[in-house]
Amino acid sequence: MKTWLLINPAAGSGRHGANLQRAVDFLVEGGWEIQTIQVDALEISAVARQAAEKGVEIVLIGGGDGSAGLAAGGVANSDTRLGILPIGTGNVFARDIGLPVPVPFLSAPILEAAKALYRGHTHRIDLGHISAEKGDIAPRYFLSWAGIGLDAEVAKKVESAPEDKRLFGRAAYVVPALTVVSTYQGVPISVQIDEHEVTHDALWVTVNNIQLYGGLIRMAPTAHIDDGWLDVTIFPGRNLADLLGQIVPLAVSGEPDGTLTIMRRGKRVRIEATPPLWVHADSDPYAQTPVCVKIVPRALNLILPEKTPNHLLLHKSAEAN
């Protein structure tokens, strides 16, 4: 199978050469014809789109959540299949679909992920699509979520210090998160979900295509990646006390408390805030509000591991590779 492997050299620690080569060797021995391309994050979508236009059967993306989301946007609405080799910092999407991800004491997670993809199956899944209403900012697709407010501020701080992210991995989020949380104030937010509007002083909004958030929390417990819906979670509040009152139960139970948060589902979401808030897509800082988000059903041919967690799929019509 003709395959382009796109590698974001800035993903993760950047020290994945030997393990990555073992994964490539395994796939080549299995009959995959792989062309490896080093690609900057800003070019991932364009190169993936080029692969789809050339009829490349599979695009493999070596990177984290942001890289995977950009690659997904490049091959969206085509027959080209996307496979993820998780070598990024968070790898939340890869973790949620059941791929092996880098953790201590796992010697070759990239090779194990390659084996899981080789033995896996293809499933048509949904993508989120986000567009900014102001500024000359191109729309983009996302695999996992868009975040507005608190988490977007943290993502912006982390991305402003990429060397810390490379050196410390997920720990690089700790100091920026504590800095933002200590001073963050909620603002009036309007969330239009299809024909219904929710207006509230809020700290944080997530628009989710998957269930998992941050690697540990089921932010959207009812989400499926093939159901044609977005799951929206709104965290009302104005100050640190409100935030702590939400985060502590969230951390303890692993999912939002329905009595403390507002949870809705929809196909189109428009978010506006006063003053404007930062927004991220798949953990990449994107723009400021107002933004519009919509679900694009069955937009991506995704290669899933053989043992995909049942909680993610509503439809079971998967195809073998």
Q: What is the DSSP string of 14-27?
A: S--HHHHHHHHHHH
Amino acid 216: pLDDT = 80
pLDDT at 86 over 80: yes
- Compare 215 and 76 and report the one with higher pLDDT: 76
Full residue range of the structural domain in which residue 217 is found: 128-297
Considering the domain architecture, whether residues 111 and 145 belong to the same structural domain is answered as no
- Compare 212 and 165 and report the one with higher pLDDT: 212
Q: What does DSSP say about strands 196-208 and 145-149: parallel, antiparallel, or unpaired?
A: antiparallel
| 214, 92 Cβ separation under 8 angstroms | yes
Considering the domain architecture, whether residues 82 and 169 belong to the same structural domain is answered as no
How many domains in the chain?
Answer: 2
Considering the domain architecture, whether residues 138 and 109 belong to the same structural domain is answered as no
Q: Averaged over 87-99, what is the pLDDT? A: 89
Residue 313 falls inside a structural domain: no
Tokens of 86: 């998780």
Residue 269 falls inside a structural domain: yes
Alpha helix (H) ranges present in 119-187?
150-159, 162-168, 174-183
Query: Which residues on neighbouring strands pair with residue 202, listed in sequence order?
Result: 187, 236
C-alpha closest to that of 295 among 235, 198, 226, 197: 226
Residue 303 falls inside a structural domain: no
| 25, 5 Cβ separation under 8 angstroms | no
Considering the domain architecture, whether residues 265 and 142 belong to the same structural domain is answered as yes
Residue with structure tokens 């059967």? 57
Considering the domain architecture, whether residues 100 and 176 belong to the same structural domain is answered as no
pLDDT at 249 over 80: yes
